[in-house]
Each structure stands twice: as structure tokens, then as C-alpha cells.
Amino acid sequence: MSLRILVGCKRAIDYAVKIQVKSDFSGVVTEGVKHALNPFDEIAMEEAVRLKEKKLASEVIAVSCGPTQAQDVLRTALALGADKAIHVEIPAKEYETLQPIHVSKILAKLAEKEKADMVIVGKQAIDDDCNQTGQMTAAVLSWPQATFASKLDVKPAEKEVTCEREIDGGLETIKVKLPAVVTADLRLNTPRYATLPNIMKAKKKPLAKLTPKDLGVDVTPRQEVVRVEEPPKRQGGGKVASAQELVERKQMSFKIQSNFERKATFSESLNVNNLNQNMDQTLKNDRLIESLRVLVKEYLEIHCYDTALFWADKICVFEKDSIKDLYVFIHCLFCCGQYQRALNIIKERDLNRKNILFRYVAAKCHMASKEYEQALEVLNWEEHNASDKVLINAFENAVNFTLNGRNIEAALNLLRGQIHEALGCSDAAVECYKSALHGDVFCYEALHALTSNQMLTSKDENQLIQNLPIDIQCDQKQAEIVKYLYSTKLSRPNKQISSYEQNTECQQYFKENLDILINKAERLHYEGDLKESYNICRKVLEKDQFHKSCIPLYVSTLVHLNKVTQLFEIAHSLVKQYPQDAVSWFAVGCYYFLIGNMDPARKFFLKATCLNRSFSPAWLALGHSFAQESEHDQATSAYFTAAQIMKGSYMPFLYIGLEYTLSNNFKLAERFYQQALNVEWDDPFVLLELGVIWYKSQNYQNAEIVMRRAYNILKNISNKNISIEWEPLLNNLGHVCRKLKKYQDSLDFHRKALALQPTSSSTWTSIGLTNIFLNKFDEAIEYFHQALWYKKTDLVAKKLLDKCLNLVKDHSTVMTMDEFQLDIKDIMLTKQNQQQNQKQPKSKLIEANLKAFSTDYSMSESMSYAPLNRTDESAMDLAAADDGDSIINP
Ligand code: AMP
């Protein structure tokens, strides 16, 4: 008679993983954690296979109860020698509450169904440490049990098993009758490794699927886990009689410790005396190698990469064929920055062709060496060589390790995206980043890449987040957090995304989190509230001086708010600390820009683009520095480059439009503004600029429509009052309404502007002007006085005041509009001449304004607004906006 043996194969957290208790103490963290066949089950399986090899058993059946991934361990069991496998599928949610009693009942049912003579399970699962399943299975079946077996002598003919068990202080030998349940202890055998041919064969072995229901087993939980906690830290201490004893103890504890690391919870079952007897006497033994592996892992953790590399290399001396150890060695090389050496080893052994992880590392090495084309070639290798897929799969299974359970495809897509971005292929990069996020919703880097460089329009960003499989890949709590965090990252969330943000628990937890504060600052910046944005940036940088995501935004607000000294300080320390970072040189460029020194500004912006070609703020700023000196062609070309990178941003188009406006090419300007609106259909900046060119073309009706649209949008997006930066829009609306003879509206808008900026002489003058058109000369005179109170040199106010006073004095009748316009031209030309004679004009910004005045006062200085960017970059747009003023006056 030969036996049919059923072996329990639990998918447990890998022994090498440091177990972490969940923050809510409900269990241990399993998501994203590497799993493997429970080590005691490997021993159980080895024993069963050995019995079969001795012809004492006829069939070995591996059983695993668990979610779909349990099939991985069944394939391992089949590769180790099982004849067939049964997967009892338990959905992930139910599996969390599956208890030994349920597994026992399932095993018992299967033992009956499969007519098994023996059930071998591990003595315990190293994740829950229950040590119950074997015993309970015996009870359910009413079979005898031989637990903690360290030696088995099976006699099928006599229907008898003799079992040696390790007990405190010695060994116990028992005999049980078959059928019986056996639980395997550590020293029952040393399990084999799966060979490549066996892995191949395992793929063809039968794997049946059942559910507990098929077996009539109810898996409703009967226990509730109240709390899971880490054990208290162990306290050391104790006296030794001599130095010799100390050395001996140290040696012993090292051996025990390395064993402990290998089979996480084995320590209880270790008997030091037995261990000594069983120690392999040769230099190369499992314990030595395991201890070295632990060493390498620890050195990597404490960033002693060279030491880790040294020992990883030595492990490879012992384990010449171990792909896993070779991978660790190459990982160490990568950490040490020895990219070419790593590549040579991978190529020499053709590893990148055989395993996806090696392809990944190889591509990373190429990427780090800026060999982008080669990196892409390595990553795309698989697609071009599909015929070798069988070999690859076999090899990958043989290696049977992944990035600690994380989705390697997502990591590959992220890397592909980064390479495409570095090569300037934004469209391809966007697709790869999107795939990375879909494959792994936790892959924040992909989201950051998409949003920080504005690769997607705000509509597409919203859609992306909405369509992410967050609920599928995350449990409920994680999903809430992911949704909340990602929604705060969007500058213009739609209704649904906004609802994610309303999670009060998350708001409470993360309210002081710096990333969240930065997102808030970015949104404020986007909405034009620069002061508040700046305040938040300061708060963040006070806590974390070099917070990477905050710095570009901070630099931008400094430029907008004209804070030269602070800009100098941050640029200085950035260059000192991070000379290789594009943002450092961008900050330096911004400083020179702000003090009006365009040559060095350009030099540093260019340097930033050389360090990171995809750093769009530097391209925009470069464009502004050219625009500042009327180098329209160069400016436009820099903006075009930015447009290639920031596919989802309206800004480059807006600036190109401004350049065309400056060169009086309104048709082209309008085309680019329209293009900007195609990207962001309701952007107030673009609408305002479009309004300006329509105003310039004397199409006041259209100008009014778009400017009012901008105004309404602003009212909607900012719950609070419109920020001071939008004062020009209000004044422009005042001017447009006056042109359309809607004097009351005109006054309303100017007054709103005044509420934001009460000291603006030009607004006071504008109100005075509208009053003239209303024949209210006395009021007008008062307003001009007020304007002159704030700015004594306001020539426009002065001349208008003189004119009004004369009119009142002469009791003349109402002047005609034409007369008035002529007067204004006259006044402004005087002003222009005066200014031009001044030695140091503040570049053409003043000239532009003067020109604006000289032809038509109505669009006055108030147009010198700064088109703001939504994130960090174009700190320079102040200047571009000033240039934008010249739009008013061809
Ligand atoms: P435990 O009683 O949980 O410590 O587990 C003891 C042994 O029961 C394990 O070593 C496995 O052999 C078996 N076992 C426990 N859970 C499962 C499971 N979900 N699927 C298959 N076997 C299991």
C-alpha cells in the first residue's frame, strides 16, 4: 500500500520581511508586502515528496486556502514535487478573518474527498503563529496526530507512523496509526530548491479550484481580533563568568539570530544543543549564507552601500547560481552609483533578457547615465522578442521574486515615462505615466510628473483621478486617503473630485502636512492670491528649509511680489546645497531677472534647462527674459519649447499671444489666445488678454463679454473676495464699460478696483474721467485731487484737473468726447517726452505704459497686471505682463 498525502500550503508573509503592525492595531500590514510559501509548509511538502520518492506515497496533493495569489505558492509546491494542487478560493476580504478552525474543516473535507491517508501541515504559520490547524484537523477527522515531527518513519504496510518530536529537554518518540495528521517541525528536513525543469513541469500540473461552499464549510468568523501589538522591546543583560564564555555566547547568539531571521518565528522551537549538533560543518552552509544576506540587507538599510556591496559580492561566491543573490549584488552596485559595472554584469550574463527585474535595473542604470535611448531599448526588449517568452517566464518563476510584491509593470511604466520625458516625447511620457498610475494607484511619482509639469489639462487631470481603480486596488481606508490626497493636488477640481476633498477625517489628520499645504499654496497661486500663497510657502519652508516641491512655487511668489532680498538668499543657499538641481539655477536667474539684469538671467535659465530639459519654469522664464528686451523671436521660441513640455497648460500660448500682441499682430495673437482657451476654456488670464486685443481693435462689445466672463469665473473660484492681483481686470472692465457708455457700470468696476487698491492714483483718475462723461465736473475735480494726493506726479490727473478747473471757471458747456480725447493725447505725449528724457527708464515697461497712455488713456496703467501661473514656474510673467501692456497701444 502506498499513501495519498495532503499537504497544507499557506501563503504567508515572506520570512525576510520585517513584519509591521497596522497603525490601527487591527492586524499586520500585508499590502505591498512580499509573500511566499510558509517555511514549515516547505518542510511538510519536502517530507511528502521524499516519501513519494521512496515509493511510500503514491500521490502528493498541495492545498491552499486563500485569495487568488494563493496559486503562486501552489505553483511553488508543484515545482517542489506535488502531483496536483487544490486552491480553495477565499476572497481577500473574507481571508482576513479566516481562522484555523475553518482551514481545518476544509482540510478535513478534502482529506475525505481525496481519500488521503495522511495530512501533513506545518507546525505553525509564521504570520499568525496559531499552531492550531494540524491539531484541529485531526480532531475534525477523528484521526490520531503526531505534532512537531522532527523525524518520521512511515510504514504504510503496517499502517503506522513513528514520529520523533522535540520536547523540552529531549526527544519524544511516538507511534500513531494511519490515517493520521502530522505537523512538521523545523528539523524534519531541509527543503530543496525548485529546479528550472521542475518549474517548467509545474506549469502543466493540474490545479483545481474550489470554494468553501463547494465543500460545505462555513467560514463565518467566530473570533474577533481585538488588538495586535508588537512585543515589547527585549531587554538585554546578564553576567558571564569569563571572557571565553562571553565569546561563546556571542557566537551562539549570532547563529540563533541568523536562523531567527530566516524563519521569523522559529526561535521558540530552537534548542541550542540540537542546533549545535546539526550545524553544517563545511564553510558554505545555509546559516552562514543567510546571516550574510541579513548583513547585506541591514547595511543597505543604514546606507552603508559599499559594505553591503562587499558582502553581497561574497555571497555570490558561495551561491554562484542564485539569481536572487545576484540581483541583490546588482542592486548594491546601483546604490553605489556603479552603473556601468552593473550594466556589464547584466549584459555579460544576458540577465536583462531573462528577467524583468534585471531589465528594470539595467534601464535604471542607463537612465542614471543619461543613456536614454539605450534605457528604452532595454525596456522594450520583451516586446521585440516575444518568441523567447517561454524561457523568460520559466526563468522568472525560477527566480520567483518581485519588488516586494509591488507591481513591477507600474514601475516599468513610470521609468518609461521618465525616459520619454527626458527625450522630449511628452505625449508618450503622458501615456506611460497614466499606465503607471492605473497599474498602481499608489505610484505618486507618476501623478506628480503629470501634474507638476502640467502635462494634462485640468479637465484631463480630473478625469484621470476619477477613473483610477482606487477602490479596486485599495481597501476602504486607503481609498479614502488616496482620493483625498490626490484631489488636493489638482488646481481646478471638478465637483466629484471636490467631494473627495470634503473628507473631514483626512482634513483633520493632514491639515499640517507640508505636501497638503503646498498644494493649497499652489491652488491659491493659480487663483491669483499671491500673498496668501507666499505666506503658506514661508510656513512650509520654516519647517522644512529645502522642501523640494515648495521651492519653485516660493521662488515664483518672490518674483511676483518683488522680494529681491529673499530671492537672493534662497538662490544663494540653493546653489550651495543643490548645485545639480535645475531649480537652484532657476532661482539665480529669477534674481537677476528681478533686478533687471537680463544677460546673466538668461545664462542661468539656460543652465537650468541644461540640467533638466523638462523643467518648464526655466523655459518660460527664458522666454520672459527675451521678451523683456523685445527679442520676440527668441522669446516665442522658448515659449514653444515650454508648450511642448507643458502640454496641458495654457500659459505658453498666452505668452506667445502676448508676444504677437506686442508686435501688433493681433490676428496671430488672437489665434494663440484661442489656442490657450482650447486648453483651459475658462481661464481668466487668457480671457482678459483676449479682451484687451478686442478692445484694441475697438470691438468693445466682445471685449466686455470676455472680461465679464473672466470676472464671473474669478468670483466663482474664489469663495473669498477677488484678490488684489485682479485689480487691473476690474479697471479694464471700467474702461470698457465707459467706452460702451455704460457709465454707472464703469464707476462700479472702478470702485471695486479701488476697494482692492485704495491708493491707486490711476483708478481715482479713471473715476474722475467717467464723472466728466457724466457731466459731474465737481466730483471729477475731487477725484483728480485724490489721485494727486496719492501720486503727486500723476500727469494725467494733473492735466485733467487743470482742464476741468478751466471748464468750470469758464462756465463752458460740456466738452465733446473728441475734444477730450485730443486733450488726453496731448497730455500723454507731454508725459511720454518727459519720461523718455529720464536717464534710467525701467526698461520698456514704462515706455509701454506711456505709449498706452499717449493714445488712449482708457486702458491706462491698470493693464500692467501679471499673468500668474498656476504652479511654480513663470515667476517672470510680471515682465511679460508689463510687455503685455503694449498690447493696448499699437
Ligand atoms: P496555523 O495553525 O495557522 O499556525 O497553521 C499551521 C499549518 O496549517 C500551516 O503551516 C499550514 O500547513 C496549514 N494552514 C494554515 N492555514 C492554511 C491555509 N490558509 N491554507 C493551507 N494551509 C494552511
* 362-391 residue pLDDT tens: 999 999 999 999 999 888 875 444 444 444
Residue ranges in 223-285 assigned as alpha helix (H) = 243-262, 272-278
User: Does residue 179 have a cis bond before it (omega within 30 degrees)?
Assistant: yes
Helix axes 286-301, 243-262, angle to 10 degrees: 80
Does the CB atom of residue 108 touch ligand 1 within 6 A? Answer: no
Using N-to-C axis directions, what is the helix angle for 514-527 and 530-543, rounded to 10°? 160
Note whether 452 and 556 are within 8 A (CB): no
The model's pLDDT over 649-669, given as tens digits with 9 standing for 90+, comes to 899 999 999 899 888 888 899
pLDDT tens, position by position, 159-191: 999 999 988 878 899 999 999 999 999 999 989
Q: What does residue 664 show for φ and ψ, rounded to 5 degrees?
A: 60, 20
State mean pLDDT over 94-105.
93
- Nearest residue (CA) to ligand 1, atom 23: 10
> 873: which 3 cell numbers?
514656474
d(CA 733, CA 731): 5
Confidence at residue 718, expressed as pLDDT on a 0 to 100 scale:
62
Strand partners, 323: none
Q: Is residue 73 part of a domain?
A: yes
Which of 5, 6, 9, 10 to probe ligand 1 with, by most ligand atoms within 8 A of CB? 10
Mutate which of 38, 80, 147, 269 for ligand 1? The one with the most ligand atoms within 8 Å of its CB, which is: 38
63: Cβ below 6 Å to ligand 1? yes
Q: Which helix (H) or strand (E) holds 35?
A: strand 35-37
User: pLDDT by residue (tens digit) across 199-212?
Assistant: 888 889 999 999 99
Ligand 1 centroid to Cα of residue 225, in Å, is 18
Residue 132 beta carbon below 6 angstroms from any ligand 1 atom: yes
Q: Ligand 1 centroid to 191 CA: how many Å? A: 17
Among candidate residues 67, 68, 82, 7, the one with its CA nearest the CA of residue 38 = 7
Determine the residue of 6, 121, 183 to mutate for testing ligand 1's pocket, defined as the one with the most ligand atoms within 8 A of the Cβ atom. 121
Helix (H) or strand (E) run with residue 58 in it: strand 57-66
Residue 62: name the closest of 598, 622, 70, 569 by CA: 70
Question: Which residues share a beta bridge with 64?
Answer: 87
Query: Is residue 100 lining ligand 1, measured as CB closer than 6 Å?
Result: yes
In a domain, 150, yes or no: yes
- Residue range 421-442: average pLDDT? 92
Whether 856 is in the pocket of ligand 1, judged by its Cβ within 6 Å, is no
The boundaries of the domain holding residue 147 are 3-215
In sequence order, the 6+-apart residues with CB closer than 8 A to the CB of 171 are 150, 164, 165
All three cell numbers of 529: 492670491
Q: pLDDT tens across 819-870, in order?
A: 545 444 444 433 333 333 332 222 222 222 222 222 222 232 222 222 333 2
* Residue 50 is assigned to a structural domain of this protein: yes
DSSP 728-755: HHHHHHHHHHHHTT-HHHHHHHHHHHHH
CA atoms of 570 and 309, how far apart (whole Å): 37
CA 13 to ligand 1 center in whole angstroms = 13
With 0-12 / 13-18 / 19 or more C-beta atoms within 10 angstroms meaning exposed / middle / buried, residue 635 is buried
User: What does the pLDDT read at residue 885?
Assistant: 26
The owner of cell 505625449 is: 427
Q: Is 40 a pocket residue for ligand 1 (Cβ < 6 Å)?
A: yes
Tell me whether residue 140 is in a domain. yes
Q: Say if ligand 1 is within 6 A of residue 70 CB.
A: no
User: Does residue 351's CB lie within 6 angstroms of at least one atom of ligand 1?
Assistant: no
The alpha carbon of 126 and the centre of ligand 1 are apart by a number of angstroms equal to: 9
65 lines ligand 1 (CB under 6 A): yes
Q: Is the pLDDT of residue 888 over 60?
A: no
Q: Provide the 10 A C-beta neighbour count for residue 280.
A: 11
Using CA atoms, how far apart are residues 619 and 613, in angstroms rounded to an integer? Answer: 9
Write down the pTM of the prediction: 0.57
Q: Is the CB of 147 under 6 A from ligand 1?
A: no
The rounded Å distance from CA 77 to ligand 1 centre is 14
CA–centroid distance for 392 within its chain: 30
Q: Coil, strand or helix: which one is 807?
A: helix
Would you say the CB of residue 41 lies under 6 angstroms from ligand 1?
yes
pLDDT tens for 340-366 read 999 999 988 888 777 788 889 999 999
Contact (Cβ atoms closer than 8 angstroms) between residue 184 and residue 120: yes
Q: For residue 129, give the CATH number of its domain.
A: 3.40.50.620
Q: What are the tens digits of pLDDT across the range 546-572?
A: 898 999 999 999 998 999 999 999 999
Phi-psi region of 760 (alpha: psi -120 to 50; beta: other; left: phi over 0): beta
Task: Give the bridge partners for 8, in sequence order.
Answer: 63
- Could you tell me if residue 159 is inside a domain? yes
- Look up residue 627 and give its three cell numbers: 521678451
The three cell numbers of residue 738 are: 465707459
Cα 49-54-56 angle, rounded to 5 deg: 85
Q: Is the pLDDT of residue 221 over 80?
A: yes
pLDDT, residue 166, reads: 86
Quick one: pLDDT band at residue 284, thresholds 50, 70, 90?
low
Q: Is the CB of 131 under 6 A from ligand 1?
A: yes
Binning the chain into helix, strand and coil, the percentages to the nearest 5 are 65, 10, 30
Contact 137 CB / ligand 1 (< 6 Å): no
Q: Measured in angstroms, how far is the CA atom of residue 65 from the centroid of ligand 1?
A: 9
Distance 133 CA to ligand 1 centre (A): 6
The torsion angles phi and psi of 865, rounded to 5 degrees, stand at: -85, 165
Query: What is the average per-residue pLDDT within 788-817?
Result: 76
Beta-bridge partner residues of 154: 161
> Is residue 110 in contact with ligand 1, taking CB distance under 6 Å?
no
Q: Is the beta carbon of 617 within 6 A of some atom in ligand 1?
A: no
What residue owns the CA closest to ligand 1's atom 16?
10
For 227-253, the pLDDT digits (tens) are 888 777 666 667 777 777 777 777 666
- At 291, list the grid cell: 546571516
Quote the ligand 1 centre to 566 CA distance (angstroms): 63
Structure confidence at residue 836 (pLDDT): 36
The average confidence (pLDDT) of the chain is 82
**7: β partners:** 62, 120
> Ligand 1: does its nearest atom lie under 6 Å from the Cβ of 122?
yes
Convert 541-584 into a string of H (helix), E (strand) and C (coil). HHHCCCCCCCHHHHHHHHHHCCCHHHHHHHHHHHHHHCCCCHHH
Distance 132 CA to ligand 1 centre (A): 8
Return the number of other C-beta atoms located less than 10 Å from residue 402's C-beta.
15
Any ligand 1 atom below 6 A from CB of 124: yes
Per-residue H/E/C for 589-646 = HHHHHHCCCHHHHHHHHHHHHHHCCCCHHHHHHHHHHHHHCCCHHHHHHHHHHHHHHC
- pLDDT band (50, 70, 90) for residue 810: low
What is the distance in A from the centroid of ligand 1 to the CA of 231?
A: 23
130 alpha carbon – ligand 1 mean position (Å): 8
Question: How many structural domains does the chain have?
Answer: 1
pLDDT band with cut points at 50, 70 and 90 for residue 23: confident
pLDDT tens digits, 104-114: 999 999 999 99
What three-state secondary structure class fits 65? strand
Asked if residues 623 and 636 have their Cβ atoms less than 8 Å apart, the reply is yes
Q: Write down the residue that cell numbers 501541515 correspond to.
A: 121
Q: Does residue 216 sit in helix, strand or coil?
A: coil
d(CA 554, CA 520): 13
User: What would the 3-class secondary structure string for 125-137 be?
Assistant: CCCCCCCCHHHHH
Q: Residue 556 has which C-alpha cell?
A: 515664483
User: Is 744 domain-assigned?
Assistant: no
Angle among Cα 698, 700, 701 to the nearest 5 degrees reads 140
For residue 111, being part of any structural domain is answered with yes
> Is the Cβ atom of 8 under 6 angstroms away from ligand 1?
yes
Q: Please choose, from the candidates 425, 426, 482, 481, the residue with its C-alpha nearest in 3D space to the C-alpha of residue 457.
A: 426
* Most trustworthy range by pLDDT among 206-220, 284-298, 824-838: 206-220
Decide: 367 in ligand 1 pocket, CB within 6 A. no
pLDDT of residue 223: 85
Domain presence at residue 82: yes
Strand intervals (E) in 251-346 = none
Dist. CA 656 → ligand 1 center (Å): 67
Q: Whose CA is nearest to atom 19 of ligand 1?
A: 65
